[in-house]
Chain A
Amino acid sequence: MKSGSPAWAVTAVVACSSAAAPRLAAQVRAAVDLGVSNVHYDGFLPSTAAAVPPSFRWAAPRTLVLANGSYLRFSSGHRSLQANMAGSLFSAPLGPWTAELSVLAGASQYQEFTGFSHALLTARLHLDGARIGGWVGGTSGTTSFVAAQRPVGELSSGAWARAFRATWLVNATYTRVGDSAYTDVEGATHAVQGRFTVDGSLGARVWSRGGGHGVYGEASGSYTVGPWLALVLAGGRYPTDPTRGSVAGRYFTLSLRLTALPGRSRAALPTFTPPAVHHSPPPDLDPPAASAELQDDRGFVIHTDGAHAVEIEGDFTDWQPLRLTEREPSAWTLPAPLAPGTYRFSVRIDGGEWFVPAGVTKVPDEFAAGMVGLLTVP
């Protein structure tokens, strides 16, 4: 393997995801990224690549299944194929605690080299809070390179918090793969402001025996041009992953993201953030149809994807329909904060039926069949 000058890569990414739960309608989301990447793997020849990674997501109140893959075609003519699958089971909450059991499996193959494969079993214990939480966990499994298998063991712990309109993560992981061992400490953040979405991570392999060392970090930013289109800029450096057989590298990517809007479901659909090896936010309820949020400053927000118009009527509008403003993608807000009090209300999307979004108390409607929302502003 030789190092060489960086080369430009064209990447095309297709992601399809679907989420379904028993008794509830399914939801499908698809996205295609078309981009140009500059990739430089440590000790490898860089090249141009086109990637097509479909992904699948199935979610139920205590179950989550993810599958994704990618096909990379480099300008050198070499190709890389990857496939990963993860399934998680969550226990019923006991106080603030929730247990998670996950199975992860994957395989990858690069043209000139035989492939890697891995199978892992992970157990985590989550401590949930409204805005802060944490987890501890362990992983056991195996990784294979050709016929040679090596045991994998991992201990991890982390914490997350939601503050300043962003999510913040820190975690520490000790990994042992065969005779190699290393410890990584990482921090990450995710924030959305208007049409901009920013993700960043910074980590360090603070100790290593055969697993490489150094500092790594990645950042990405996207600008939502419209419901179907976003510009994405990403770059950084990632470390060697002996479990999955990937070598450290650095990259820079500029891409267009084309998104197929999800089908709306009137039912509240609990979903979970996907589990990751090194950090895993706790299970959270996320009703994609529409959810209501009362913010700390008494601002009121309706979250829903793919809507062109969101209206609200209630005690604070004298029961006249009021069109909300989409101040951030998928976040529709009232023009002014609410005064303290108790309010009945309903919302509708794109002129459809009035309904009560998830996240608020529902009480019987005295004037029509159905329910009306009840919001208390302290």
Chain B
Amino acid sequence: MLRRVWGTVVVALLLASAARAQDPRLDRRLDSTTLAAVGALMDSARAAGLPVEPLVQRALEGSAKHADSDRIVAAVRRLAGELGVARAALGRESSPAELDAGASALRAGVRPEDLTLLRQRRTQPLTVALAALTDLVTGGVPPDSAAAAVLALAPRARDDQIAEFRRAVERDIALGASPAAAAAVRVDATLRDVGATPRKP
């Protein structure tokens, strides 16, 4: 029993040391137990080829907000999972920024299949398009409508046009339009701007 306890302590110390070696920012802000658990998650993410900076920032956020260890670890674990799903949906060649934005979209309720379709339809980097998708869904546009709207714009619209589309929908919603209607109206307007034939979502 004592050997098992000592073994656990040694492993925890080793894990903590490994985490400390990974990022000194965590060392100053997390207790040893949390540090060990977060470090393990970071190792797994790194081994899977996922970006770890978002995980570091999520842990630091939890620390800043005085969250308990379980909550911090759960948040980091959840983000690691979402990054993995985003990478599977968007492809292994996706940039860390795209993966981070994709994880946010998944968290908001966007389906992985829609992320895959977005990758297939758009040759430009997806960061802005994914951010617009997240913004629409968090603003109240149903995920399927939001995805359809962004997918309609994806082939031809520039990043600034997609960003303008997002701002226009936000403004319409603030002025009283229903989110889905605002997205539908604005996507038609934006498609006219890019010269494409409007398609109903």
Chain A residues within 8 Å of B, Cβ to Cβ: 61-62, 90, 92-96, 128-130, 268, 270, 283, 285, 313, 315, 318-320, 340-342, 344, 361-363, 365-368, 372, 374, 376, 378
CB<8 Å pairs between A and B, sample of 26: A61-B176, A90-B175, A92-B176, A95-B186, A95-B189, A128-B168, A270-B174, A283-B175, A285-B171, A285-B174, A315-B57, A318-B25, A319-B63, A340-B97, A342-B97, A342-B100, A363-B108, A363-B134, A366-B78, A367-B71, A367-B75, A374-B104, A374-B138, A376-B101, A376-B127, A376-B131
Q: Does B27 contact A (CB under 8 A)?
A: no
Is the beta-carbon distance between B57 and A367 smaller than 8 angstroms? Answer: no
Is the beta-carbon distance between B171 and A93 smaller than 8 angstroms? Answer: yes
Chain B residues within 8 Å of A, Cβ to Cβ: 25, 54, 57-58, 60-65, 67, 71-72, 75, 78, 96-97, 100-101, 104, 107-108, 125, 127-128, 130-131, 134-135, 138-139, 159, 163-164, 167-168, 171-172, 174-177, 185-186, 188-189
The one of A318, A342, A365, A367 that contacts B131, using a Cβ cutoff of 8 Å: A342
Write the chain A residue with the least CB distance to B65.
A367
How far is it, in angstroms, between the C-alpha of A320 and the C-alpha of B60 when the chains are bound?
A: 9
**Which of A128, A313, A315 has the largest number of chain B CB atoms within 10 A?**
A315
Question: Residues of A contacting B176 with CB < 8 Å?
Answer: 61-62, 92
- With contacts A315-B57, A320-B64, A363-B107 taken as known, whether A378 is within 8 angstroms of B159 at the C-beta atoms is yes
Question: Residues of B contacting A93 with CB < 8 Å?
Answer: 168, 171-172, 175, 177, 185
How far is it, in angstroms, between the C-alpha of A270 and the C-alpha of B64 when the chains are bound?
A: 32
How far is it, in angstroms, between the C-alpha of A77 and the C-alpha of B108 when the chains are bound?
A: 68
How far is it, in angstroms, between the C-alpha of A284 and the C-alpha of B45 when the chains are bound?
A: 44
Is the beta-carbon distance between B60 and A318 smaller than 8 angstroms? Answer: yes
Question: Residues of A contacting B101 with CB < 8 Å?
Answer: 342, 376
The one of A61, A130, A341, A368 that contacts B100, using a Cβ cutoff of 8 Å: A341
Is the beta-carbon distance between B97 and A361 smaller than 8 angstroms? Answer: no
Min CB gap B122→A, angstroms: 13
Is the beta-carbon distance between A95 and B64 smaller than 8 angstroms? Answer: no
Question: Residues of A contacting B78 with CB < 8 Å?
Answer: 366
Question: Residues of A contacting B97 with CB < 8 Å?
Answer: 340-342
Is the beta-carbon distance between A96 and B127 smaller than 8 angstroms? Answer: no
Question: Residues of B contacting A61 with CB < 8 Å?
Answer: 174-176
Write the chain A residue with the least CB distance to B163.
A378
Q: Nearest 6 CB-CB pairs, A to B?
A: A376-B131, A319-B64, A95-B189, A367-B65, A367-B67, A315-B57
Question: Residues of B contacting A372 with CB < 8 Å?
Answer: 61
Min CB gap A7→B, angstroms: 49
Is the beta-carbon distance between A95 and B188 smaller than 8 angstroms? Answer: yes
**Which of B65, B139, B176, B189 has the largest number of chain A CB atoms within 10 A?**
B65
How far is it, in angstroms, between the C-alpha of A279 and the C-alpha of B71 when the chains are bound?
A: 55
Contacts A367-B65, A374-B104 given; 8 further ones with Cβ under 8 A?
A: A61-B175, A93-B175, A93-B185, A315-B61, A361-B131, A365-B65, A368-B65, A378-B125
Question: Residues of B contacting A374 with CB < 8 Å?
Answer: 104, 131, 134-135, 138
Is the beta-carbon distance between B138 and A367 smaller than 8 angstroms? Answer: no
How far is it, in angstroms, between the C-alpha of A357 and the C-alpha of B108 when the chains are bound?
A: 19
Write the chain B residue with the least CB distance to A315.
B57
Is the beta-carbon distance between A62 and B128 smaller than 8 angstroms? Answer: no
How far is it, in angstroms, between the C-alpha of A291 and the C-alpha of B149 when the chains are bound?
A: 26
How far is it, in angstroms, between the C-alpha of A367 and the C-alpha of B101 when the chains are bound?
A: 20
Is the beta-carbon distance between B61 and A319 smaller than 8 angstroms? Answer: yes
How far is it, in angstroms, between the C-alpha of A318 and the C-alpha of B62 when the chains are bound?
A: 11
Is the beta-carbon distance between A363 and B138 smaller than 8 angstroms? Answer: yes
Is the beta-carbon distance between A92 and B65 smaller than 8 angstroms? Answer: no
Min CB gap A228→B, angstroms: 31
How far is it, in angstroms, between the C-alpha of A361 and the C-alpha of B107 when the chains are bound?
A: 13
Question: Residues of A contacting B172 with CB < 8 Å?
Answer: 92-93
How far is it, in angstroms, between the C-alpha of A374 and the C-alpha of B128 when the chains are bound?
A: 12
Write the chain B residue with the least CB distance to A91.
B175
How far is it, in angstroms, between the C-alpha of A315 and the C-alpha of B71 when the chains are bound?
A: 18
The one of A90, A318, A342 that contacts B127, using a Cβ cutoff of 8 Å: A342
**Which of B64, B107, B108 has the largest number of chain A CB atoms within 10 A?**
B64
Write the chain A residue with the least CB distance to B60.
A319
How far is it, in angstroms, between the C-alpha of A366 and the C-alpha of B61 when the chains are bound?
A: 9
How far is it, in angstroms, between the C-alpha of A212 and the C-alpha of B193 when the chains are bound?
A: 43
How far is it, in angstroms, between the C-alpha of A270 and the C-alpha of B108 when the chains are bound?
A: 26
How far is it, in angstroms, between the C-alpha of A111 and the C-alpha of B185 when the chains are bound?
A: 55
Is the beta-carbon distance between B64 and A313 smaller than 8 angstroms? Answer: yes
How far is it, in angstroms, between the C-alpha of A62 and the C-alpha of B177 when the chains are bound?
A: 11
Min CB gap B32→A, angstroms: 20
Min CB gap A9→B, angstroms: 43
Write the chain A residue with the least CB distance to B188.
A95
